[in-house]
Amino acid sequence: MQAWVIGNWKQNPATKREVETLVTEIVTANNERSVNNSNTDSSHDKAKTCQLMLAPSCIHLSAVSSRLQDSSILCAAQDISAHSATVGAYTGDCSAQQVADAGATWTILGHSERRQYHQESNEILLAKLVCALEQKLGAVLCIGETQAQYDARDTIKVIDEQLQVVKQLLAQPIAKSMDLDHTLAEQLIIAYEPVWAIGTGKVPTVSEVSATHKHIKEQLASFASKLPAITVLYGGSVNADNADSFAASPVIDGALVGGASLKAESFLAIAKAFS
């Protein structure tokens, strides 16, 4: 399965200049990595086996997507409006159509910070998923349990509730009109991110993550017999030092990276681990 490493920049960096520097450093280092890989291994272009993606904040989307145009790195939004896929009187929102026009081909949805600070429910996320699909944007749907839920051993219960939105999506006319064998699996990625691991330096063990990923894949498969294997990423304090251990698991298909994606060196080291 194709590996994915996605940089979620959140509300960073502060200035246009810093954004330009960061994206330039990432593109340059990635080009060097591709050249090195093809020089050392002509039979197998390893750089191609890990798809990279960057999710800047909305205001930097156009600049970052323009800079990425001649690279193999994709650009994603961090969120889209639930109210309309196109235009309307929704102050402060950016629609799927607008972020696609700004160069995004994917959007992150349901990040725990959106769930926590913007009370995003399954109902809201279903509306956002439909908007994304209508505008042919891929969606990286984030799920994961809080520390209290982890301590209460409720991880699977919480995840199953959050995954219901995918089941509901499959019943929507937009999903029914898609060829499930190909299109939906290509436009949906699940990112399992335990809330207690995000930005804390605390990580679950690789075997805990692997067991959860196996469960997520089984749940998704149970929703529709035609649905092929969906990519499941791990996120939460992934860094250059621990990426190898997550990459070694056959059911961890890549990483959603926050803090470590703000430095080209650590982001590319994580990409290398998954290549």
Q: Which of 113, 120, 145, 193 is catalytic?
A: 193
Only segment of 14-22, 86-94, 114-122, 192-200 that touches ligand PGA (CB under 6 A) = 192-200
Active site residue 111: yes
Instruction: State the minimum distance, in angstroms, from the CB of residue 236 to ligand PGA.
Output: 5
- Cα dihedral value 20, 25, 31, 37, nearest 10: -150
Among 4, 5, 8, 155, binds ligand PGA (CB under 6 A): 8
**Should residue 257 be labelled a site residue for ligand PGA when binding is judged by CB under 6 A?**
yes
Residue 103 or residue 236: which is nearer to ligand PGA going by CB? 236
Among 5, 107, 258, 271, binds ligand PGA (CB under 6 A): 258
Record the tokens describing residue 190, joined without a space: 């699940």
C-alpha–C-alpha distance, residues 232 and 268, integer Å:
20
Q: Which of 111, 113, 145, 215 is catalytic?
A: 111
Record the tokens describing residue 195, joined without a space: 């809330």
* Cβ contact 156:121 at 8 Å: no
Strands (E) in 176-263, as ranges, are 188-192, 231-235, 254-257
Instruction: State the minimum distance, in angstroms, from the CB of residue 179 to ligand PGA.
Output: 30
Number of residues that bind ligand PGA (CB under 6 A): 13
* Cβ contact 234:209 at 8 Å: yes
Residues 225 to 244 in contact with ligand PGA, rule: CB under 6 A: 235-238
Among 193, 213, 234, 271, binds ligand PGA (CB under 6 A): 193
Match 């990519």 to its residue by tokens: 231
Among 175, 198, 209, 247, binds ligand PGA (CB under 6 A): 198
Match 């930005």 to its residue by tokens: 199
Active site residue 215: no
Residue 56 or residue 259: which is nearer to ligand PGA going by CB? 259
Q: Which of 77, 120, 125, 70 is nearest to 98 (CA)?
A: 77
Instruction: State the minimum distance, in angstroms, from the CB of residue 259 to ligand PGA.
Output: 4
Instruction: State the minimum distance, in angstroms, from the CB of residue 257 to ligand PGA.
Output: 5
Residue 127 or residue 140: which is nearer to ligand PGA going by CB? 140
**Should residue 145 be labelled a site residue for ligand PGA when binding is judged by CB under 6 A?**
no
> For the range 37-44, what are the long-range contacts, defined as Cβ-Cβ under 8 Å and sequence gap of 24 or more?
37/275
Supply the DSSP string of 17-80, one letter for each residue: HHHHHHHHHHHHHHHHHHHHHHHH-TT--GGGGEEEEEE--GGGHHHHHHHHTTSS-EEEES--
H or E element at residue 155: helix 155-170
C-alpha–C-alpha distance, residues 237 and 258, integer Å:
7
Instruction: State the minimum distance, in angstroms, from the CB of residue 258 to ligand PGA.
Output: 2
Only segment of 15-23, 25-33, 160-168, 257-265 that touches ligand PGA (CB under 6 A) = 257-265
* Cβ contact 270:240 at 8 Å: yes
Interaction site with ligand PGA (CB under 6 A)? 8, 193, 198-199, 235-238, 256-260
| Residues acting as catalytic residues | 111, 193
